[in-house]
Structures are given as C-alpha cells and as structure tokens.
C-alpha cells in the first residue's frame, strides 16, 4: 500500500520528528554533544562526531527536505554559509548566472571572495527569459535566482527558467527565503536546488541564524554533506531545535503574514504620501498574474517609495509598533532602509541601476493586530 502524503502543516509538525524512543518525548531532544561513545573499533550507533552528524540536525534536515519536496537537505550556520556551500559544486573556469537584484550579501560574496578561485559571475535580469538564455555559455554550470527579489519584489518565472537551464545542461538554484515552502515550492517547478536563510520565516522568531540547501540529486546530498564535514560551518544542535520549533507553526504564521501583508500593501497603495508600492499581491504589480500562478500566497514583504533619504529617515524614526532593523520574517513587523542596510555593499551606482533609491523603505509585515500596524504606519507617514 502506498503511504499517504500528509498535508503541509502535518508534515511541518511531524516529519523527521518521531517521538524520542528512549523517553517518548514529543519534541526532538537537543543533543548537545560533540562526540559519541563507541562500543568497539568501527562499531557505533550511527554517530561519531557532531560536526559530521547530530540527531537534532538530522531531524531538521529530514523535515526541510520533506517541506520542499527535495531528496536531501543540509543546514549551515547562516544563509550566506549555505550559499558558500552551494558554490563548492563549482570549479575554476566555471561560470554562474545570478539575478541582478538579489540580497546584497550574495554578489559581495561572489565578487569579492569566490572570483578569487577562477569562477566567473554574470548578473542579469532573470525576469527576462531571453536575457537568461543569452547569458548562458558552454562553461555555465549554475543559474541562481531570488523570486521575488529583495527588495523590489520582481518575480522570475521558475518553470520557464528551469526549462531553459535544463535545455543547456545547467542547474537552477532558487533562494526561496521570501516565500517559504508554504507559499512557493521551486522544486515542483523544476528547480534543482533550493536555498533558504532559515533565520527568516522558517525560524520565524528573530532569535537564531541559519541556512539550508535542499537538493534533488544524489550528487547534491554527497557534495553538501561533504562540505558540512570538511568546512564545519554547520548549524548547532540548539539552533536546529529552534528552527524545528519555528517550523511547527509555519503554516499558521504564513497565513497571518499574508493576510496582514495584503492589508498593509493596500493601505500603502492608497496613501497620498506614498509614491509607489512594490508587492506582487497588488493587481497593479506588473507580474501579478505570474505571482498568482507560481505562488499560493503573496507573503509579507513590501517595499515603498517615500521620496528621498530625508523622508525615509523621518518615517523610520517615528515608527513604534514596527521595529527599525535588519532582517525579515519574524513575528514582529520589521522595517528597513535597503540603501543603507541590505544593499549598502553594492554601491550607489549599482543601486541606482536597479532602482533601489534612497527613499525606498522595505517592510516585513508581522503577525501583530493589523490595525495596530496600519495605525503605526499612518502616524509615521504623517510627517511627510
């Protein structure tokens, strides 16, 4: 008899998390151990050293592989550590295509660190399929995209880009941090690798760093596990437990993030002091139809134009319910200034080319009472 595949919320709570066989504990224990007792030479219970493997980490990795529909998952100490592990699939002379409007730390890593090892990067607008096709070379091995992008919420058609990549023997990696697997599952659309900063929606409580790579092939499992073992940039057992704890409520949290996000986007779009709003859930978003097709919700990330640096700072100084700070995906509403925070490293010229102005503000809508969020934004925007 074929085993029934449970729904998302059920898998989030149960997959990889069987009751502890020793005590019956419902929650996976935090195995705070660096090493494991062995019965004799070559005989142990499946664990030797926690850099290589740990039961708490195994539980989280099994859970994340299930939620994304991948063959294996491998967790790392941060989202950037996960991206670093991903490029270890490459060798000198290889070429990577990266979306031109991704989190600023990604091109910083690629341009200032990885290029030292003879790997070349091209940055293109991956929402334009022909630009992706034209950028592929014989030595191209990987296309890495974010969809929606950070912070301008531009979408890439995952299935279409996956088809182009696979026609040319290129793998597609998708940063799925903004949507979480609750709203978007890139592997079902043809992606080969999915990456998350688990710091964000997966953890959901702004109290831990982490990253994950979900692979679809045996060679991904072998390569990423080897990188974990060799480099040691793994997620600690306690941090693994924190992410597992967060994932149990991922489905209900994402529903509320989405409901609040839609309300906030509509409020901002109607506000006379807001010049423009970037949110794929708005019918005015140029890729709204694509968003409705490849995502099951529109999420909590919104960007909007205030007019300039002085105006943005005036608004950000006045917020009270919203928290001015880096990051996103927490239960609290976080508001930030991309030009001086997430995208400061790419420089003023690159920001200008991408449309990241000094007046742009990004908001990660939390799960507070939405009327309190709207009231806070109303009083903050009144200064303009």
Break the chain into its structural domains and give their ranges.
Answer: 8-247, 250-381
Question: Please, which residues have CB within 8 angstroms of residue 283's CB and are 6 or more apart in sequence?
Answer: none
Residue-level pLDDT at 64 = 98
DSSP state for residue 170 in the 8-state scheme:
-
Which is nearest to 327 in space by CA: 173, 209, 154, 225? 209
Any catalytic annotation for residue 157? no
Q: Quick check: 240 pLDDT over 60?
A: yes
Burial of 327 (0-12, 13-18, 19+ CB in 10 A): middle
The total number of residues written for the chain in this structure: 384
Question: Please, which residues have CB within 8 angstroms of residue 4's CB and are 6 or more apart in sequence?
Answer: none
Rounded distance, CA 178 to CA 14, Å? 23
Any catalytic annotation for residue 108? no
Count other Cβ atoms within 10 Å, centred on residue 348.
11
Rounded distance, CA 11 to CA 166, Å? 30
Residue-level pLDDT at 2 = 45
Q: Quick check: 272 pLDDT over 90?
A: yes
* Active-site hit among 15, 51, 273, 372: 51
Mean pLDDT, the chain, integer:
96
Residue-level pLDDT at 45 = 86
Quote the crossing angle between the two packed helices 79-86 and 218-231, to the nearest 10°. Answer: 120
- With bands split at pLDDT 50, 70 and 90, how would you rate the model's confidence at 1? very low
Kindly state the average pLDDT of the residues 352-372. Answer: 97
Half-sphere exposure of 167 (CA within 13 A, CB side): 11
Any catalytic annotation for residue 245? no
* Active-site hit among 141, 200, 253, 362: 200
Residue-level pLDDT at 345 = 84
CB 322 within 8 A of CB 373: yes
Strand partners, 95: 120, 140
* Active-site hit among 103, 123, 278, 279: 103
Q: Quick check: 98 pLDDT over 90?
A: yes
CB 305 within 8 A of CB 272: no
Q: Quick check: 21 pLDDT over 70?
A: yes
Question: Taking the alpha carbons of 84, 87, 88, 93 in that order, is the dihedral positive or negative?
Answer: negative
Q: Which two tokens stand for residue 191?
A: 């992606």
> What is the per-residue DSSP string for 319-351?
-SSSEE-S---SSS-EEE-TTTTTTGGG-HHHH
Count other Cβ atoms within 10 Å, centred on residue 88.
15
Any catalytic annotation for residue 200? yes
Using only C-alpha atoms, the chain has a radius of gyration, in whole angstroms, of 21
SS3 of residue 20 by DSSP: coil
250-381 CATH fold: 3.90.1150
Q: pTM, whole model, 2 decimals?
A: 0.96
Per CATH, the number for 8-247 is 3.40.640.10
* Active-site hit among 94, 175, 192, 258: 175
């Amino acid at each position: 008899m074929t085993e029934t595949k449970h729904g998302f919320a059920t898998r989030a709570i149960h997959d990889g998390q069987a009751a502890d066989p020793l005590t019956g504990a419902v929650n996976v224990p935090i195995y705070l151990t660096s090493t494991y007792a062995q019965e004799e030479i070559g005989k142990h219970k499946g664990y030797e050293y926690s850099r290589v493997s740990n039961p708490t980490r195994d539980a989280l990795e099994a859970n994340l592989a299930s939620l994304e529909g991948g063959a294996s998952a491998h967790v790392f100490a941060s989202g950037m550590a996960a991206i670093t592990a991903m490029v270890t699939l490459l060798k000198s002379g290889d070429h990577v295509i990266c979306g031109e409007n991704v989190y600023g730390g990604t091109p910083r890593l690629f341009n200032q660190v990885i290029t030292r090892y003879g790997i070349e990067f091209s940055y293109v607008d991956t929402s334009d399929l022909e630009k992706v096709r034209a950028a592929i070379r014989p030595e191209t091995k990987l296309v890495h995209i974010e969809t929606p992008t950070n912070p301008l919420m531009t979408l890439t058609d995952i299935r279409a880009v996956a088809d182009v990549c696979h026609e040319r023997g290129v793998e597609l990696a998708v940063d799925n941090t903004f949507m979480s697997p609750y709203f978007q599952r890139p592997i079902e659309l043809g992606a080969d690798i999915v990456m998350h900063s688990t710091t964000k929606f997966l953890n959901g409580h702004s109290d831990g760093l982490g990253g994950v790579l979900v692979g679809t092939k045996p060679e991904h499992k072998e390569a990423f596990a080897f990188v974990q073992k060799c480099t040691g940039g793994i997620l600690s057992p306690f941090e693994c437990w924190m992410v597992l704890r967060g994932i149990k409520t991922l489905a209900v949290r994402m529903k509320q993030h989405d409901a609040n996000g839609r309300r906030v986007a509509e409020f901002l779009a109607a506000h006379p002091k807001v010049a423009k709003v970037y949110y794929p859930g708005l019918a005015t978003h140029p890729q709204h139809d694509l968003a409705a097709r490849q995502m099951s919700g529109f999420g909590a990330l919104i960007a909007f134009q205030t007019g300039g640096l002085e105006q943005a700072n005036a608004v950000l100084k006045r917020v009270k319910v919203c928290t001015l700070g880096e990051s996103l995906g927490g239960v609290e509403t976080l508001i930030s200034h991309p030009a001086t925070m997430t995208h400061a490293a790419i420089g003023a010229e690159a920001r200008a080319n991408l449309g990241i102005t000094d007046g742009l503000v990004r908001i990660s809508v939390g799960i507070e009472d939405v009327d309190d969020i709207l009231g806070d934004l109303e009083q903050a925007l009144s200064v303009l």
